[in-house]
Amino acid sequence: MTNSRKPSVLFVCVHNAGRSQMAAAFLTHLGGDRVEVRSAGSAPADTVNPAVVEAMAEKGIDLSAQVPKVLTTEAVQAADAVITMGCGDACPVFPGKKYLDWQLDDPAGRGVDAVRPIREEIERRVRALLDDLGIQPRPQAR
């Protein structure tokens, strides 16, 4: 990403209620306005997983107002990088896009204790993604 336009990243999972919400929140929190961030699901849930909301609150990130969004072809077309997390064949593929598939446990139906290690792995991967994008993470408030 060497041009002056800020990179755009789309995180996709099935329900957009856990993994993709955490990844988008971390990228927004750490990348600030230097990156455009979206998340979506191939079959969005009605609400974000409460254990995910609680786990992210422990990191000082509030997901309580987030709502799962449906994956659209337009969202994929607008992204420079599309990161899938178990959406399988439901995610459309376009030439010229960078695609990554992050194999992560699904937090659906799990308590906050089970979500924490997933959260930590997502944060680690988001930090590596920022490095790949040439974006220095903002300092942590905590």
Active site residues: 13, 87, 91
Contacts of 19 (CB under 8 A, 6+ apart): 11, 13, 85, 86, 102, 104, 106, 107, 118, 122
Cα(107)–Cα(54) distance, integer angstroms: 12
